[in-house]
Structure 1
Amino acid sequence: MNSMVAEPAQRQVVSGAEAAAWAERLRVANINPRTGLATDYLNHFNEAVMLLEMVPDMPECAEDFLTWSPLSYAEHFTASNFKARDLAIEAYEKAEPTVRAQFDHITDTMTSILTAVGSAMREVEKDQTRVRLAEQATLWVKPLIATCGGIINGGTEADIDNIMAN
């Protein structure tokens, strides 16, 4: 059976010098060498939150939020001006599978929340309802962005649990 699903990147055994050179390339590109992830991707979610935070004072900004659309990690970097976008995508693909799974789970959750809020905002007509939706979404997504930042920066599970508890 021919599958359209890509196989996960194979872990390769590399020399200490190769590993050090790879880590330095990542560091210079503002990609965490321990995790292979870049905080630049969080800008995608921060943009949505910024738009949502404007809705209570300017309800017409809900229309601006409705133009936001979800992007995967690779889609974000492909469309960005990030100087090392190809390296960011390669490092993500080579990231340790459990770190990437945690990261993907949280970014998928944020995407689901933001998409659902967008759908709900399209269905309602009252500004006050849109304001409540924006405020609630912000309360849900901001801690998840912080948690993703912890994962990107190589925080321990205890660090991430502490962020989620607060």
Structure 2
Amino acid sequence: MPPPDALRSANIHPETGLATDYLNHFNEVVMLLEMLPDMPDCAEDVLAWAPCGYEDHFERTGYSGRETVIEAWRAAPRAVRAHFETLITVLDDVIISLQAQVAAGDLAGAALAARSEAEPLLAAARAAVHGHVTGESDPDQDAAQASVDALFG
């Protein structure tokens, strides 16, 4: 694993070896999917999206810390990588199915499914980057939810 200072400067979680920047590849298309009912011209961009592997993403985007990110990825604990890759595979499949809905003209349905299917997977992937396995309690998320519950009581 690269040294802690290198990990920090490249936005890599020191325990998992994963970088949240990879999830931008998914955040953008999910955001576009959610905007489709109000902005149907985004459909073209949604349909242009394609799956992209972790290392390929950092190579393609020219990320400034890409060598460190890739080194950390390769050194990441096997179980962490396997869990993360499983989430990403399912997320890729969901987005591809949403693209089919968009191509068929069901923009509202695709937007709804993006919220109900893709968003939870993205949240699980973000949690995995930070060392939380889906289903584990996240103290920060629990506190945030408690605040919302108290507000709307």
1:104 is aligned to 85
1:134 is aligned to 111
Any idea what SS the aligned residue of 1:50 has? helix
Any idea what SS the aligned residue of 1:159 has? coil
- Shift of the 112–156 alpha-carbon distance from structure 1 to 2, 3 Å rule, reads closer
1:119 is aligned to 100
Conserved in 2, the CA contact under 8 Å of 1:107 and 1:148? yes
Conserved in 2, the CA contact under 8 Å of 1:24 and 1:33? no
Deviates more, 1:35-44 or 1:131-140: 131-140
Give matches, 1:7-156, under 5 Å: 22-122=3-103, 124=104, 126=105, 129-155=106-132
String of CA shifts for 1:62-90, please: whole Å, max 9, x gaps: 12211111111011101113211121111
What letter is aligned with 2:114? A
Can you give the 5+ residue segments of structure 1 that lack an aligned partner in the other structure?
1-18
User: Aligned pairs, how many?
Assistant: 139
Identity of aligned residues (%): 39
Distance in 1 between residues matched to 2:38 and 2:100, nearest whole Å: 21
- TM-score, normalised to structure 2, is 0.82
String of CA shifts for 1:7-26, please: whole Å, max 9, x gaps: xxxxxxxxxxxx7x722221
1:13 is aligned to none
Distance in 2 between residues matched to 1:76 and 1:58, nearest whole Å: 27
String of CA shifts for 1:9-55, please: whole Å, max 9, x gaps: xxxxxxxxxx7x72222112211111000000010000011110110
Runs of 4+ in structure 1 off by over 4 angstroms are none
Distance in 2 between residues matched to 1:91 and 1:58, nearest whole Å: 38
